[in-house]
């Protein structure tokens, strides 16, 4: 057994010592967070065949990893919120008694790091020292996790120093669940291959995270969804702030007025793209603060102040191109880890819809050869000479649909450095938010943009959000619309009804509720009968952001409808409507209309989701009150009001 290293902080020592005894690694390494250490781990992985070093002239400091086929995305079916009481996890989460779960998982952890190195990663969620920042210690046996955490969070000595002798942190344990026997050769992507052997477990009362069996993304980089959303949402509820699945951006108008906007869209529904978007509208400037997670705290002035707790982008690769998101591509130029994309013969990377011609031959995400398509130079197939139609029919993609890049935020050419460092007027607080957007992938019914009539109406809009399931999760329901309130369905750390109530409380407890952000619902994904997108999206979304700013300033009137305030068609600025994808005026007209029949069905579906949430509380014998753990009355009231207005 390895000797537990010394730590100035007793709680850190106790956490590491406990898991050293359970997991029995060969060796323990405390991550220092230096560049040299990062490079040395990457190079060690290259030697072991777990990383491919990319062409260092084209992509300095960049590597490629290929995961096991069972380990390509988050596993919602194996994700648990283990509160003491089942009702506190609520109707949207998988639950198990925390003591039962711990016993069960301890069996898996026993000896799980044999033949491996245990890494101890001290990390910060947020700029070190910022009052909103929180800290974590992740123990892991995955060097892939270490180097990804180095990019996604602030890691190393500085964190331990900040924690001092008795600073608090969220204790996290992670193992890929693949111990090595003496002399056994490691594989390229160790993990527990059976889905049922994987566990992603949050203990909200102990504030601990236990993850086992997966090495991929949000399952394994525990600072991200497990901490910054699931555990943090519970902390936020208890302490009066918010942890949300939101991007944060800074928008500057031609008149040089700055706005800060957050947006909650479900996984793979456009956060990274909006966060780094190049506005098509002349004179408007957009800068990035965060692309996935926002922590919002109410200020003394009644405004909500946001920070991005992360330090990098774990972005969806396919679809990222110089046309759609040049700033994301530029962020991947150096120091980036690519997972499950195509390797080209010159040691570069490629993916579908990168806007770059495919190489004649490459290696696909499974490590098999792939070949340029016979009649489309922008596609690849599993055999030479295949046509576009044949490839499409086979369902083959050369880069996995949830292949990702892990890129340092500092690479982003449009990073708002001051906002990213959590500064507002040079004080470490976060930036004040002017507008909150909700959204999702909705081929029908939901208009391009819809303004809430009040905070409560905005909370209703968020609670009613739905979206097509994407490849960001391992699921047999990809493409089907599911309810995804506030884009948080997979990330609630507690009961969804309490979460809705918490949103409503933000208005009641605000020092000045008139200063709260205005709330909007957007949909970039409306489709025509022929399956084409009716809105060009990406840079054209700046047209919608401009309308939102004008509404904030009271500069334009709106079409007041039963579902909310929609733009008048003339108020969507169509200047510079040029290029490959354009706004088609007839389509714009259609996506600014209220589809009354569609909305009646929509409202019924939302009502059904509320009923489903309430049913759990009704069945739970520990819930004595008739209103506790139920969807708040104020939201039911809006549902009834909208429904009545639509019936007129
Ligand atoms: P997570 O990292 O999983 O939370 O995803 P995300 O919300 O950051 O999604 P991302 O921005 O990576 O977008 C995912 C997919 O949506 C990509 O394939 C994009 O090309 C596509 N997409 C993003 N924005 C738009 C848009 O405005 N219109 C259309 N049609 N597609 C978009
Ligand atoms: C998401 O699925 O929302 C992601 C990717 O951002 S992961 O980190 O894997 O959760
Ligand atoms: Mn996400």
Task: Please report the pLDDT score of residue 269 as a whole number.
Answer: 97
**Residues lining ligand 1, CB < 6 A?**
265, 267-273, 291-292, 315-316, 318-319, 324, 472, 524-525, 533, 537-538, 541
pLDDT band at 638 (very low <50, low <70, confident <90, very high): very high
* Nearest bound ligand to the CA of residue 272: 1
Q: Which residue has the tokens 């060009």?
A: 536
| DSSP code at position 38 | H
Q: Is 613 exposed, middle or buried (0-12, 13-18, 19+ CB in 10 A)?
A: buried
pLDDT band at 580 (very low <50, low <70, confident <90, very high): confident
Find the helix or strand (DSSP H, E) in which 30 lies.
strand 27-30
CB under 8 Å to 628, separation ≥6 — which residues?
A: 617
Instruction: Report the alpha-carbon distance of residue 630 to residue 489 in Å, rounded.
Output: 16
472 lines ligand 2 (CB under 6 A): yes
Instruction: Count the neighbouring beta carbons within 10 Å of the beta carbon of residue 283.
Output: 13
pLDDT band at 428 (very low <50, low <70, confident <90, very high): confident
Question: Is 112 designated active site?
Answer: no
Instruction: For residue range 56-103, list pLDDT tens digits in order.
Output: 999 999 999 999 999 999 999 999 999 999 999 999 999 999 999 999
Instruction: For residue range 434-471, list pLDDT tens digits in order.
Output: 999 999 999 999 999 999 999 999 999 999 999 999 99
Task: Please report the pLDDT score of residue 286 as a whole number.
Answer: 98
Mean per-residue pLDDT, 237-257: 98
Mean per-residue pLDDT, 316-320: 97
Q: State the pTM of this model.
A: 0.98
Instruction: For residue range 120-167, list pLDDT tens digits in order.
Output: 999 999 999 999 999 999 999 999 999 999 999 999 999 999 999 999
Q: Does residue 1 register a pLDDT over 90?
A: no
Residue percentage of the chain with pLDDT more than 70: 100
225 lines ligand 2 (CB under 6 A): yes
Is the Cα dihedral 332, 334, 340, 344 positive or negative?
positive
Residue 413 alpha carbon to ligand 1 centre in Å = 19
- CB of 339 within 8 A of CB of 65? yes
- Residue 133 dihedral angles phi and psi, to the nearest 5°: -65, 145
Instruction: For residue range 462-478, list pLDDT tens digits in order.
Output: 999 999 999 999 998 89
Please tell me the residue having the least CA distance from ligand 2 atom 4. 267
Triad 601, 487, 308: Cα angle to 5°: 155
Q: Is 151 exposed, middle or buried (0-12, 13-18, 19+ CB in 10 A)?
A: buried
Kindly state the tokens that stand for 466: 């739905």
Triad 243, 245, 247: Cα angle to 5°: 105
Q: Which of 82, 112, 191, 269 is catalytic?
A: 269
H helices within 78-190, ranges in order?
A: 86-89, 98-109, 143-152, 157-163
Helix (H, G, I), strand (E, B) or coil at 314: strand
Strand partners, 483: 466
Residue 403 alpha carbon to ligand 3 centre in Å = 13
Strand partners, 199: 212
* Nearest bound ligand to the CA of residue 339: 2
Residue 439 alpha carbon to ligand 1 centre in Å = 11
Find the helix or strand (DSSP H, E) in which 15 lies.
helix 10-23
- CB of 465 within 8 A of CB of 440? yes
Instruction: Report the alpha-carbon distance of residue 14 to residue 18 in Å, rounded.
Output: 6
């Amino acid at each position: 057994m390895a000797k537990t290293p010394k730590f100035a902080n007793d709680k850190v020592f106790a956490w590491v010592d406990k898991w050293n005894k359970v997991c029995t690694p060969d060796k323990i390494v405390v991550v220092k967070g230096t560049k040299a250490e990062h490079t040395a781990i990457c190079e060690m992985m290259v030697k072991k065949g777990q990383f491919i070093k990319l062409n260092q002239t084209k992509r300095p400091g960049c590597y490629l990893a290929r995961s096991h086929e069972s380990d390509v995305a988050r596993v919602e079916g194996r994700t648990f919120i283990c509160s003491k009481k089942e009702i506190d996890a609520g109707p949207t989460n998988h639950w198990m008694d925390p003591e039962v779960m711990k016993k069960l998982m301890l069996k898996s952890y026993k000896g799980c790091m044999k033949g491996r190195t245990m890494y101890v990663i001290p990390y910060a969620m947020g700029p070190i020292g910022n009052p909103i920042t929180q800290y974590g210690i992740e123990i892991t046996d995955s060097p892939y996790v270490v180097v990804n955490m180095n990019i996604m969070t602030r890691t190393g000595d500085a964190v331990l120093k900040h924690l001092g002798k008795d600073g608090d942190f969220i204790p996290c344990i992670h193992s890929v669940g693949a111990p090595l026997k003496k002399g056994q050769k490691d594989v390229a992507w160790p993990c527990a291959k059976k889905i049922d052997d994987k566990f992603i477990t949050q203990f909200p009362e102990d504030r601990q995270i236990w993850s086992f069996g997966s090495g991929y993304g949000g399952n394994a980089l525990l600072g991200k969804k497990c901490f910054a959303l699931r555990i943090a949402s519970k902390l936020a509820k208890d302490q009066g702030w918010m942890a949300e699945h939101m991007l944060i951006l800074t928008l500057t108008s031609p008149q040089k007025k700055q706005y800060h906007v957050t947006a909650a869209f479900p996984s793979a529904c456009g956060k990274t793209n909006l966060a780094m978007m190049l506005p098509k509208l002349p004179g408007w400037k957009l800068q990035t603060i965060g692309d996935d997670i926002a922590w919002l705290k109410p200020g003394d002035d009644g405004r909500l102040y946001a920070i991005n707790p992360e330090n990098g982008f774990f972005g969806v690769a396919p679809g990222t191109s110089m046309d759609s998101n040049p700033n994301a591509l530029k962020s991947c130029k150096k120091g980036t880890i690519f997972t499950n994309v195509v390797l080209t013969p010159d040691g570069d990377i490629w993916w579908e819809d990168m806007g770059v011609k495919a190489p004649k031959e490459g290696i696909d995400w499974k490590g098999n050869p792939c070949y340029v398509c016979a009649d489309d130079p922008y596609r690849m197939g599993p055999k030479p000479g295949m046509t576009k139609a044949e490839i499409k029919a086979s369902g083959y993609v050369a880069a996995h649909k949830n292949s990702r890049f892990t890129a340092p935020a500092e690479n982003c050419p449009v990073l708002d450095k001051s906002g990213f460092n959590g500064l507002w007027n040079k004080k470490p607080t976060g930036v004040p938010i002017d507008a909150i957007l909700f959204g999702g992938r909705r081929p029908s019914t939901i208009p391009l943009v819809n303004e809430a009539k009040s905070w409560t109406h905005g909370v209703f809009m968020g609670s009613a959000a739905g979206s097509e399931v994407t490849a960001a999760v391992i699921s047999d329901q990809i493409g089907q619309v599911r309810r995804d309130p506030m884009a948080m369905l997979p990330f609630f750390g507690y009961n969804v009804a309490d979460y809705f109530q918490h949103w409503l409380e933000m208005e009641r407890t605000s020092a000045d509720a008139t200063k709260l952000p205005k709330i909007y619902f957007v949909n970039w994904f409306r489709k025509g009968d022929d399956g084409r997108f009716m809105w060009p999206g990406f840079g054209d979304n700046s047209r919608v952001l401009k309308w939102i700013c004008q509404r904030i300033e009271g500069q334009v009137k709106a079409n007041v409808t039963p579902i909310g305030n929609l733009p008048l068609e003339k108020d969507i600025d169509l200047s510079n409507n040029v290029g490959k994808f354009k706004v088609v005026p007839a389509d714009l007209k259609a996506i600014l209309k209220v589809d009354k029949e569609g909305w009646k069905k929509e409202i019924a579906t939302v009502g059904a989701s509320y009923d489903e949430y309430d049913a759990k509380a009704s069945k739970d014998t520990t819930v004595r009150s008739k209103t506790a753990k139920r969807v708040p009355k104020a939201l039911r009231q809006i549902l009834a009001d909208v429904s009545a207005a639509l019936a007129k």
